[in-house]
Amino acid sequence: MPRDTDRLTSPDSLRELFIAFTTLALQGFGGVIAVAQRELCERRRWLSPREFVELLASAQVLPGPNVCNLSLMIGDRFFGWRGALVAIAGMIAAPMAIMLMLAWLLGEASAWPQAQGPIRGALGGIAAVAAGQIIGTVLKLAAPLREHELGGSTSLAIAALAFCLMGLLRWPLLWVLLGLGGLTCIGTGVVLRSRGEARQP
């Protein structure tokens, strides 16, 4: 993976890594992908947008939560297995404590029926914002596709097809990953080979 090093930086310590993933996770209401892209690519500049999508691609075909796999890979890249552990811990520890407190508070609040409406309303508002955040992030992540090996319009068309199969036709994720993903990987391999860029395995 080429790194345009003049623009990117690295975390200085495990402590910085832990704090980064904790603050990131705590801002991620209804999912962490949007905040992760903002914090890691734009604010801290640890990854280029292309690296972000590539890591996310690997994170997604592996079992486990995508964002946890992603943070593990980033931690491992900078500090080895200790970094991987610290990144996951940062992602989980504080949000889990807050969530359990929230669950306890909401359990107590069930004694006050008049609080139920506003609580349900607030959760609905957060859910709407979370959906919008993911779509806005996708629009940003489509930018690196323009320089894709298969050509900008082809790769955008493949992204649109993946969306239709999963979002509209509701195909199972595994079929889309194996079928369309497999075909796209083979196509990309053919393009790379014809360019003669890569060393052979």
> Considering only residues 63-82, where is the footprint of other proteins by CB under 8 A?
63-69, 72-73, 76-77, 81
Report the nearest approach of other proteins to the CB of residue 119 (Å). 7
Residue 46: alpha-carbon gap to chain centroid: 14
Phi/psi of residue 169, nearest 5 degrees: -85, -10
The DSSP annotation for 151-162 comes to -HHHHHHHHHHH
Give the shortest CB-94-to-other proteins separation in angstroms.
8
Q: Out of 3, 13, 82, 96, point to the residue binding other proteins (CB under 8 A).
A: 96
C-beta separation of 25 from 90 below 8 A: yes
8 binds other proteins (CB under 8 A): no
Contact between 3 and other proteins per CB under 8 A: no
**What is the footprint of other proteins within residues 147-186 (CB under 8 A)?**
148-150, 155-156, 158-163, 166-167, 173-174, 176-177, 180-181, 184-186
Shortest spacing between CB 200 and other proteins, in angstroms: 6
Candidate ranges 3-11, 12-20, 133-141; the one touching other proteins (CB under 8 A): 133-141
The reply on whether position 1 binds other proteins by CB under 8 A is: yes
- Binding residues for other proteins, rule CB under 8 A, total 111
**Least Å distance between CB 137 and other proteins?**
6
Q: What's the longest Cα–Cα distance across the chain?
A: 69
Which of helix, strand or coil describes residue 46? coil
- Near other proteins by CB under 8 A, which window of 3-11, 12-20, 101-109? 101-109
In angstroms, what is the minimal distance from the CB of 44 to other proteins?
14
Cβ proximity of 145 and 156 under 8 Å: yes
DSSP label at 200?
P
DSSP per-residue codes, 77-105: HHHHHHHHHHHHHHHHHHHHHHHHHHHHH
Distance CA 196, CA 190 (A): 10
Considering beta carbons, is residue 19 or 94 the nearer one to other proteins? 94
Q: Which residue shows structure tokens 């489509």?
A: 142
